Chains A and B, each alone.
Chain A
Amino acid sequence: MRVTALYFAMMREKTGLDREEFELSEGATVREAFLKLNEIRNLGGAGSLEILRFAVNRTFSPLDAILSDGDELAIVPPISGG
């Protein structure tokens, strides 16, 4: 299935991208998607899972959430607004 990763802030600067599509196995979780992305982009490795949050189709989602074809997965570094 195809999923689109969305990058923001320091992640956008690090990757040079604001979004990219990538292939994932059916039934893959958010965690698996991030680790797959980390193979092709330097996103900080598995350790980053402790500080990153993720949003699937604009809703914060846990690491074990299952993705579907066409989903947008936002990688959300610790936010600093307000």
Chain B
Amino acid sequence: MAELTRNPIDPGSVIEKAVVADCGAVAAFFGVVRDENDGECVDEMEYHGFEEMALDELNAIENDMKSKWAVREVVLTHRLGRLKVREVSVAIVVSSPHRKEALEACAWAIERVKARVPIWKKEFYQGRERWVEGNPASLE
């Protein structure tokens, strides 16, 4: 399940979506807005996206995870809009019968999200704002 949302992401609810009775492993990653970036104290972070394409890419990441690993449920959720420090910006949860696949797929997925999903973040700090420099190294 891949989605974009403007609502707060609740980790417990997201994990619950991926838990299935015959899978003994659930691996999760949550990206959280932190209070510092490049030496500046961050007040809030605002996420903007090319939404149609971002959803296409999230769906593609889910499909790739299921073809590369024997995983069962995949939940990929990215939030858009303005977030406060400590709020969840992205959630990736994967279940599989055994832990190796879930852990590997989850780790792969966040790197893939950061490389391919067209979302940009702007930070707000001390009355100023700036776009966070994306990493050109994400170019394939």
A-B contact pairs, 17 of them (CB 8 A): A6-B50, A8-B120, A9-B122, A60-B140, A74-B50, A78-B136, A78-B139, A79-B114, A79-B117, A79-B134, A80-B131, A80-B135, A81-B119, A81-B120, A82-B31, A82-B113, A82-B117
A10 touching B53 by the CB < 8 A rule? no
In whole angstroms, how far apart are the Cα atoms of A9 and B135 in the complex? 15
In whole angstroms, how far apart are the Cα atoms of A79 and B136 in the complex? 8
Which residue on chain B has the smallest CB distance to residue A8?
B50
In whole angstroms, how far apart are the Cα atoms of A62 and B136 in the complex? 15
**For the complex, is B126 an interface residue (Cβ under 8 Å from A)?**
no
A55 touching B53 by the CB < 8 A rule? yes
Chain B 114-138: CB-based contact to A (< 8 A → 1; otherwise 0): 1111111110000000011111101
Q: Which residues between 38 and 82 of chain A lie within 8 Å of chain B, taking CB atoms?
A: 50-51, 53, 55, 58-60, 74, 76-82
**For the complex, is B40 an interface residue (Cβ under 8 Å from A)?**
no
